[in-house]
Amino acid sequence: MKITVNNKEYWANPGETILTVAEREGIQIPTLCYLKGFSPTGSCRVCVVEVEGQRSLTPACAFPAYEGMVVNTNSPKVRRARKTIIELLIANHPQECLTCVRNGNCELQNLSAQYGVRDLRYKGERRTAKIDVASPSIERDPEKCILCGRCVRVCHEVQNVGAIDFVRRGFQSCVAPAMDGSLNAIACVFCGQCITVCPVGALREKSSAKMVWEAINNPQKHVVAQVAPAVRVALGEEFGMEAGTVVTGKIVAALRRLGADRVFDTNFGADLTIIEEASELLHRVKNNGKLPLLTSCSPGWVKYVEHFYPDLLEHVSTCKSPHEMEGALVKSYYAQKTGIPPGDIFVVSVMPCIAKKFEAQRPELGDEYADVDAVVTTRELARMIKTAGVDFTRLPDEPFDDPMGESTGAAAIFAAAGGVMEAALRTAHYFISGKDMENIEFTPVRGLQGVKEAEVTITGIKIRVAAVSGLKNISLILDKIRNGENTWQFIEVMACPNGCINGGGQPVSSDPDRVRKRMEAIYEIDRSLPKRSSHHNESVMNLYKEFLGEPNGHRAHELLHTHYVERS
């Protein structure tokens, strides 16, 4: 079809909206409620345009193109309407930009500047509500909510949780949990995907920065920081670097300048997780254990299965997640080697995930001392670096500390959906056959699809696998398992779509290709390392000889494994 936009002719496919055509042709139309890939709602009206023949302005995100359509996206009437809509939103919004966590990265703030909103024309009663801070992971500020509905749609349509929705009507409308309760009292899994799509500061992570600064400034505390694989391909975005830029060495240098006594690599814990998980898989396959084995690295996913599929908990791996394994070893093996009492060691994990904050507080993860004392997100670390006045872009690349600084390419790919599966298969193949895979890159479980399935045969043993990201996708598979339609032996599950690279604690970016760029960088790290399978990590294998004994053995289970609980 041919349509005319701003006096210029363009082509359009049947079913495309005005906004879709405009985006493709580089015509900027502002949006707030719009989410690419979701069915449009047209609720915010910021994207209104003039369509010849229509009596009123039309939302570009929801209006389909048709042959001969004539559109004006920048008429005086359109500009006035957009500015008025923005002013009305601001009139019911707290004027707290200077103290808001999204200051400088707020879509409403950006639109206000773009459309020249310089005073408050509409004054009167504002919606008031209490901030919900009871959750260990998420803070919810209803007064800042602009009712765009993005968080609701992600929670329902992508994550299949439905923890929040629109409640009440008219001026009192708001987004909240059922009965206007706290996120901490419902079946929220703390994945944080609501935070990544919120255009303002109505949803944010609960910050642990103050606790970390206090530990750093306490001379009695020995602060050990560890860094997850997904952080190293995303943190640079907070300092103006392109998505996917690998900044591993700069992160180590920054943490040392903040005051960390030791900086270890969570990838060491990831390699350790693979040894334990591959051993657990083979044990179940050989001994008719509960199959399929479901991975347990994603705490949001673990909480989801505890809430919604508790009858399938026996299928979930008992392995702790990598940063929890590493924390447990810091307070046992490392404490023993250095002579530092475990109670004087403060472990802080830098993670792409806000569910890790909840995970670190679980009583099942730790004994006398918690494995991990605090979790800061990629965004929080960036703020701490800026507060300390460190010029991140000019930092040199520094190596991790030993002995928990060595890692392999298999650990790096944990950050991408399908990475845990691929890493586990590399080691499982070695454990079964005694030799490495000929083609170490198991591409069937790579990519941005929500569900990826494959079959691998190792010395006659067929293993049917799947890699799933996004909780709605796993619910379909869990229903099949529950109904006895089980065709898999091993399933990797990540709560966040596309895995940890798209975690709830990662930089909120306007780059639509940021996830792809982060994923490409992760696999490039894998290809660049001399060792690409976890069983080739000499530090990990020496750890078993010196301290843990055999993989999946008694001592390993005491420190590196856990259990889960049914939740209402």
Give the pLDDT confidence of 336-379 residue by residue, as tens digits. 999 999 999 999 999 999 999 999 999 999 888 999 999 999 99
Residues 509-567: pLDDT tens digits?
878 899 999 999 999 999 999 999 999 999 999 999 999 999 999 999 999 999 999 99
270 pLDDT more than 80: yes
Query: What's the pLDDT band for 172 if we cut at 50, 70, 90?
Result: confident
**d(Cα 397, Cα 172) in Å, to the nearest integer?**
52
Q: Token pair of 282, please?
A: 């083979």
- Planar angle of CA 114, 117, 122, nearest 5 degrees: 145
Of the candidates 40, 44, 5, 46, the residue with the CA atom closest to the CA atom of residue 26: 5
What was the pLDDT predicted at 100?
Answer: 95
424 closest CA partner among 560, 294, 264? 294
Nearest to 466 by CA among 300, 238, 295: 295
Q: What single DSSP character describes residue 174?
A: E
User: Dmax over Cα atoms in the chain, in whole Å?
Assistant: 80
Kindly report the CA angle at 142 between 357 and 61, in degrees rounded to 5? 100
More confident residue, 182 or 511: 182
Cα-Cα-Cα-Cα dihedral sign, residues 90, 95, 98, 103: negative
Domains of the chain with CATH codes: 2-74 (3.10.20.740), 90-205 (3.30.70.20), 210-560 (3.40.50.1780)
Taking only the tens place, the pLDDT of each residue in 71-84 is 999 999 999 999 99
**Is residue 57 predicted with pLDDT exceeding 80?**
yes
**For residue 88, pLDDT beyond 90:** yes
Q: Which two tokens stand for residue 117?
A: 């909103």
Question: How many angstroms separate the CA atoms of 444 and 430, rounded?
Answer: 19
Choose from 69-83, 168-182, 427-441 the range with maximum mean pLDDT: 69-83
Edge-to-edge strands of the sheet including 374-377? 262-265, 222-227, 345-351, 374-377
Average pLDDT over residues 54-68: 95
Q: Determine the Cα–Cα distance for residues 228 and 225; give it in Å rounded to an integer.
A: 10
Helix (H) or strand (E) holding 382: helix 378-387
What pLDDT score was predicted for residue 366?
86
192: confidence class by pLDDT, cuts 50, 70, 90: very high
Structure tokens at 252: 């180590």
Instruction: Compute the average pLDDT of residues 456-477.
Output: 91
Cα dihedral value 293, 294, 295, 300, nearest 10 = -160
Q: How far apart are CA 263 and CA 381, in angstroms?
A: 14
Per-residue confidence (pLDDT) for residue 267, from 0 to 100 = 97
For residue 127, the model assigns a pLDDT of: 86
Q: Is 72 helix (H, G, I), strand (E, B) or coil?
A: strand
- In whole angstroms, give the CA distance from residue 109 to residue 558: 51
pLDDT at 438: 85
Strands 203-205 and 374-377 turn out to be: unpaired
Is 45:87 a contact under the CB 8 Å cutoff? no
Known catalytic residues are 277, 280, 297, 317, 356, 359, 364, 500
User: What pLDDT was estimated at residue 468?
Assistant: 96
pLDDT band with cut points at 50, 70 and 90 for residue 458: confident
Mean pLDDT over the full length of the chain:
94
pLDDT at residue 511, rounded to an integer: 81
> In this structure, which long-range contacts are made by residues 246-251, counting pairs with CB atoms below 8 Å and at least 24 apart in sequence?
246/521, 246/524, 246/525, 247/392, 248/397, 248/525, 249/395, 249/396, 249/397, 249/398, 249/399, 250/392, 250/393, 250/395, 250/396, 250/397, 251/227, 251/350, 251/381
Q: What is the pLDDT of residues 377-388, one digit of tens each?
A: 999 999 999 999
